[in-house]
Amino acid sequence: MKKIFQIILILLIVYVCIYPKWFMKKIFQLDNIKLTKISETFDKKNQSFAFLIESDQIPMGISGIKASDCGKCHQKIYNEWKQTTHAQALEDIQFQAEISKADNPKWLCLNCHIPLKNQRKNIVIGLKNKNILNPLFKKNLNFDKELQQEAITCAVCHLVKTKNNKAAILGPRGSKLAPHPVVKDKVRLRGVCMRCHQPEGKSLTPNLLCWFHPKDEMILNKEKKQDCVSCHMPLVDRKISILSLEKKLSHSHHWVGSAIPKNFLGYNTLKNRGFKPSVSGSLRLKENIILLKIKNKNSGHHLPSGDPERYVALILSIKNKEGIITKYVSRIGQTWQWNPAKKIGDNRMIPFEERNFYINISQSDSFYSYEIWNVRLNAQNATYMKESKNLDESLIKGINHQVALLDSLYPLATLLYKEDNLNEKKKVYQISELIQISKQESKIDIKDRSYANLETFKKLIEIKND
């Protein structure tokens, strides 16, 4: 019996050796799978986000390419960067919840949130049949876990190759004082944002995750000479490194943006990071009419820009003589239908635009408060996200625990403007008060936050000027 088995086995091996192709086809059904290069699906020049940034070589004169390595000399810049959304682009709870969904091309999501080669444990070497949901991986022997956790770290924007293929630092001035080689190219450096913030081509998934074009929205901007860096990295006078001899005009590495931090503790540093509300508001009472204004004061692109779920919420609260409060609201943003994504509305504000709203009140009503919130997610989507189960913990340890505690950990909105007349006295809130109120939201259940539940309130009436 044993012998017969041995003979069959030997015959089988001989057969496989003679007809390996036939065997592979039959057993693995490889005949209808074609392995394609990433460059057959994505254009290397215009869709650079699909390709990793080479990071095996360390520039001469420094010990490593981690932010903590750069921070030994560039301490101030390092401390700024550490508090940013860029530094937290991997640990973001929403990001972690979304990349776990099977219909997302996880490797591509990671390409913009951790784009250096050595931030990746496994590297995509090709796609099966050009399908982005079906990549083939190779183990990365130079994987660096610490570098991975730094997400959009210094090297993402500053690490380049010289003409002789040597690692160097991309810089604006070409300082001779730097211990590391510098490739001087200010235009290229200021353009690094586009790789991720203005991707070309068609959206990656039918649900259009992460597909936005703030640069196109800037065409409407009156001050055409501005680029992303002009507003998001304002000039500061300081020593660029601890080895620098004198102060120079350099760039803040804070990227404040929407000022909705990735955790409630982020509010503690928001003011020092240079938060300025992007809008101004005002309220006027004229007999029995309340007039409200909102102006997109600082944003160079649409307000809001970026993620399609973001919106700005105007909330007016009126108190009647029985003390009952009625809320009137307006939502400024995009409206989408999902599966597949289809835009069905967009009332966002262009740069410097002003809008007016009104409502009629009765004699005995009193105006109570006018608030403008910048919102990242509504209650429905946040609750959906909170219910995520069994998230992969290989990137962020403890992420399942964090998702469950969403209400107290993850801010959904920041207050941009508030005025009230609680005791018949008008009060306009200062920046530090706006921040304090935003921080207090951690104590309120998501389902009870008014800016996240606008559908449940009455509508403000917009005054169309034409």
Which single residue brings its beta carbon nearest to ligand HEC?
306
Footprint of ligand HEC on 188-207 (CB under 6 A): 189-190, 192-193, 195-197, 199, 204-205
Residue in the block written with tokens 């699909």: 50
Peptide bond into 304 cis (omega under 30): yes
Pick one of 147, 160, 167, 228: the residue that binds ligand HEC (CB under 6 A).
Answer: 228
The least CB distance from residue 35 to ligand HEC, in Å, is 22
The least CB distance from residue 235 to ligand HEC, in Å, is 8
Peptide bond into 105 cis (omega under 30): no
State the Cα–Cα distance between residues 109 and 101, nearest whole angstrom. Answer: 11
Footprint of ligand HEC on 105-164 (CB under 6 A): 105, 108-109, 111-113, 115, 152, 154-158
Say if residues 343 and 336 touch (Cβ distance below 8 Å): yes
- The structure tokens listed for 159 are 């690490």
Is the Cβ of residue 178 or residue 446 nearer to ligand HEC in the bound state? 178
- Where does 162-278 show beta strands of DSSP type E? 167-171, 182-184, 235-238, 248-251
Footprint of ligand HEC on 315-374 (CB under 6 A): 374
Q: Which stretch binds ligand HEC (CB under 6 A): 88-96, 341-349, 400-408, 437-445?
A: 88-96
Q: What angle do CA 421, 424, 430 make, to 5 degrees?
A: 35
Q: What is the largest CA-CA distance in the chain?
A: 104
Pick one of 38, 124, 210, 375: the residue that binds ligand HEC (CB under 6 A).
Answer: 210
State the Cα–Cα distance between residues 156 and 55, nearest whole angstrom. Answer: 9
- Helix/strand number for the chain, H first, E second: 17, 19
Distances from the Cα of 118 to the Cα of 150, 235, 397, angstroms: 12, 31, 19
State the Cα–Cα distance between residues 88 and 151, nearest whole angstrom. Answer: 6
Beta bridge partners of 415: 373
The least CB distance from residue 21 to ligand HEC, in Å, is 36
> Under rule CB under 6 A, how many of the chain's residues touch ligand HEC?
96
The least CB distance from residue 135 to ligand HEC, in Å, is 13
Pick one of 232, 271, 295, 386: the residue that binds ligand HEC (CB under 6 A).
Answer: 232
Is the Cβ of residue 233 or residue 290 nearer to ligand HEC in the bound state? 233
> Can you tell me whether residue 88 is helix, strand or coil?
helix
DSSP code at position 346: E
Peptide bond into 411 cis (omega under 30): no
Q: Which stretch binds ligand HEC (CB under 6 A): 82-90, 137-145, 339-347, 396-404?
A: 82-90
State the Cα–Cα distance between residues 363 and 273, nearest whole angstrom. Answer: 44
Pick one of 174, 206, 234, 345: the residue that binds ligand HEC (CB under 6 A).
Answer: 174
361 class by beta-carbon count within 10 Å (0-12 exposed, 13-18 middle, 19+ buried):
buried
If binding is defined by CB under 6 A, does position 454 make contact with ligand HEC?
A: no
State the Cα–Cα distance between residues 278 and 259, nearest whole angstrom. Answer: 9
Pick one of 25, 37, 44, 72: the residue that binds ligand HEC (CB under 6 A).
Answer: 72
Pick one of 42, 52, 135, 180: the residue that binds ligand HEC (CB under 6 A).
Answer: 180
Is the Cβ of residue 71 or residue 161 nearer to ligand HEC in the bound state? 71
The least CB distance from residue 136 to ligand HEC, in Å, is 19
State the Cα–Cα distance between residues 77 and 367, nearest whole angstrom. Answer: 45
Interaction pattern, residues 31-50, with ligand HEC; x per rule: CB under 6 A: ------------------x-
Footprint of ligand HEC on 241-260 (CB under 6 A): 241, 243-244, 250-251, 253, 255, 257-258
If binding is defined by CB under 6 A, does position 172 make contact with ligand HEC?
A: yes
Interaction pattern, residues 381-410, with ligand HEC; x per rule: CB under 6 A: ------------------------------
Pick one of 25, 166, 186, 458: the residue that binds ligand HEC (CB under 6 A).
Answer: 186
Nearest CA among 343, 344, 347 for reference residue 333:
347
Pick one of 55, 74, 275, 370: the residue that binds ligand HEC (CB under 6 A).
Answer: 74
- The structure tokens listed for 1 are 């019996």
The least CB distance from residue 155 to ligand HEC, in Å, is 6
Footprint of ligand HEC on 268-307 (CB under 6 A): 278, 298-301, 303-307
If binding is defined by CB under 6 A, does position 94 make contact with ligand HEC?
A: yes
Pick one of 7, 46, 162, 179: the residue that binds ligand HEC (CB under 6 A).
Answer: 179
First-residue to last-residue Cα distance in the chain: 94
DSSP code at position 39: G
